[in-house]
Amino acid sequence: MKKIANPVGWFEIYVSDLERAKKFYENVFDRELYEIPAPDDSDIKMVVFEMDEDAPNASGALVKMEGMEPGGNSTIVYFSSYDCEIEQKKVEVAGGKILKPKFSIGEYGFISLVLDTEENCIGIHSLK
């Protein structure tokens, strides 16, 4: 069986304040997020990260959904970066918190661990 090139195909980050979270991610990562319609007549609200379908890696969305509370989860989404310190410097200005500033993970590069405005832990990864 042939393996899929990238194991992550999509991600969702659950939020309680969609507009606040949207502003945080747009400010830290310099990317626009776009609202998409709910999958059915549900009360789910979603904004998705812009995506180039011909490029590697995955896209995903910020999601506000009844019963899915943000923060305290055991899943960390890692955003790719040229130098994670660039985005790390924007985190507190955008309303988040730095949990663990940029540190080496050996031959695999560097990561920063931060909290977004919804108390979700996210990672920023770079080779530099």
Tens-digit pLDDT profile for residues 46-92? 999 988 878 877 888 888 877 778 887 767 899 989 999 999 999 99
- At residue 38 the predicted structure's pLDDT band, cuts being 50, 70 and 90, is confident
98 has a pLDDT exceeding 60: yes
The answer to whether position 105 is within a domain reads yes
The answer to whether position 34 is within a domain reads yes
The answer to whether position 63 is within a domain reads yes
The answer to whether position 26 is within a domain reads yes
Beta carbons within 10 angstroms of residue 26's beta carbon = 15
pLDDT for the residue numbered 12:
86
The answer to whether position 4 is within a domain reads no
The answer to whether position 71 is within a domain reads yes
For the chain, the domain total comes to 1
pTM exceeds cut of 0.85 = no
Residue of 123, 127, 115 lying closest to 83 (CA atoms): 127
Range of the domain at 98: 11-126
Q: What is the CATH number of the domain that holds 74?
A: 3.10.180.10
